[in-house]
Chains A and B, each alone.
Chain A
């Protein structure tokens, strides 16, 4: 019973790390209409930066500063944000889908570096012995799982609150105005590239934080954790939950991660050993079909975009239909 409860706690912890990444993507896509296909890349940057900063020194690769975990996570956000700032500076002024191609290219290239630059990243085997939070509880699995879950809930709640404030602030309204009608927003004196770059960088920093959280909770990272399929999963989480809605993003993360984990165990039980690899492929086909179907049949997602209106508008004026 306690084993099942610890498993559930761990499951929720991982789901929440994806929730943080999905919240970041929601700021990119849901609020600013930025098509970021490099989620896995930004998560990788965050994971590696945090691993370098917090792990103990080893001879085989760079890093090992043995700093406290909060510093590692702050560094992860800064690293992913910096990477996004560099990419964004080049692509923000161009057509929207050039950002998609560029972020995709960045994620692919970062994966190559992670796999091949052994002296920096540890190569294909990655980095092990990353300090986990509450390590001294590790001999009591349930307490350990619960403490980690508490930490994940705390961080997610902080991110959620900050994003709710941001998207409801004048800044968030400018983003949505730019997304809906760039010319009209620009005519009011809002510099489109400037605002979009900020949203891109903050969203990417959150993906970096999500990567760092995973690195810390697993205690181990490897390049194969950051394949393009991760980007795709986070997108499915956002589209399923409902882009433009932070609650939707979190709900989508938990639901999709749950379906992913459940279908994995189900296939593991049902398929004979020789078919396990093929079963994993079938699972990806299924998630691709779910996404396409969702886009076709229910493009607003489970919850859909939340209408946000300034709190300065009197309630009577809010219901006013457009002429």
Chain B
């Protein structure tokens, strides 16, 4: 029982963490809560669905081993990440950057709320409201330990998620772009003064955040299902994870995602699956009451 809660919580938490990384980075760099971030998850998942259809004719759709998906989905994942990153950059260029120039910061939040609805409804319009799947095969569960089981799909995708998160962490620590991103979110003016191209950093941040959100969307689509509201429904957990981890902290977002995932999984046997999303709200309230700067954040 406890074992299964841990398995569910950790796999789900990895997904929330992936989504929260982009949210926390744009939040600290541009100082606004982007309500459209959940839609990158949805768009990533649906783009991958389109791409699996297109790629399946080239690569053949044969699954790998006992998994329900094959190389096609993994290739589609990479492409969907690239495209969703571009979508995030495009949204910034068309909407958010212009509003930033007008100097009305909070208008960004309203605009992101509008962009979120428009992007989500566009998916509803194109794909319809019914849930969709990458594969109709049934995923077989394997026993990890007494009372702990997961599907092989979950394990492989969890591994991919870990690799992505580790890669993102290393990128932030050891590359020029990562250092520039940290410097710009610390103090944009000072960063510009030492010759950092802040506009490029902003684009890079949107791109990476969008791409990681798309990965979360594909994992969610592969292990559960694709729905037009899949990303929007994750928005509250993403915000809770970002605030819990401390705004601007990549390890914080991952740890926050893990904690939210575990808390949700633990709440299901206690309160029922229908109240799952409210868990994030309670965690969020607790963090804001006790430690508003979050686990890894600096006090304002």
Contact = CB atoms under 8 A, between A and B. Distances in A.
Interface string B99-137: 100101011011101111111111011001100000000
Contacts of A37: 35, 109, 113
A177 B115 CA distance: 31
Given A108-B281, A292-B115, A116 B109 contact: no
Contact of B274 (A115, A236, A277, A299): A115
- For this complex, into which size category does the number of interface residues on chain A fall? 35 or more
Contacts of B235: 104
A96 B111 contact: no
Interface in A273-323: 277-278, 281-285, 287-289, 291-292, 295-296, 299
A109 B285 CA distance: 12
- For this complex, into which size category does the number of interface residues on chain B fall? 35 or more
A98 B281 contact: no
B128 A229 contact: no
A90 interface: yes
A232 interface: yes
B205 interface: no
B90 to A, nearest CB: 13
B58 interface: no
A105 interface: yes
B95 A292 contact: yes
B125 A291 contact: no
A288 B118 contact: yes
The secondary-structure label for the interface of chain B is helix
A272 to B, nearest CB: 15
A115 B240 CA distance: 22
A278 B98 CA distance: 30
The secondary-structure label for the interface of chain A is helix
Given A98-B243, A105-B236, A105-B284, A289 B118 contact: yes
Contact of B239 (A96, A105, A283): A105
A278 B120 CA distance: 12
A292 B114 contact: yes
A10 interface: no
Contacts of A90: 285, 288-289
A116 B275 contact: yes
B280 interface: yes
B52 to A, nearest CB: 23
B95 A296 contact: yes
A288 B121 contact: yes
A292 B236 CA distance: 22
A291 B111 contact: yes
A112 interface: yes
A33 interface: yes
Contacts of B125: 278, 281-282, 285
Contacts of B119: 288
Contact of B106 (A33, A116, A291): A33
A267 to B, nearest CB: 12
Given A105-B239, A112-B278, A281-B124, A299 B114 contact: no
B158 interface: no
A89 to B, nearest CB: 9
Interface in A216-249: 228-229, 231-232, 235-236, 239
Closest 10 CB pairs of A and B: A288-B118, A281-B124, A284-B121, A291-B114, A105-B281, A281-B125, A281-B121, A109-B278, A288-B114, A97-B33
Interface of B: 32-33, 35, 95, 98-99, 102, 104, 106-107, 109-111, 113-122, 124-125, 128-129, 232, 235-236, 239-240, 243, 272, 274-275, 277-278, 280-281, 284-285, 288-289, 292, 300
8 contacts: A94-B292, A102-B288, A104-B236, A105-B239, A112-B277, A281-B121, A288-B116, A296-B102
Given A278-B128, A282-B121, A285-B121, 10 more contacts: A100-B109, A105-B240, A105-B281, A236-B114, A281-B121, A283-B121, A284-B121, A287-B117, A296-B98, A299-B107
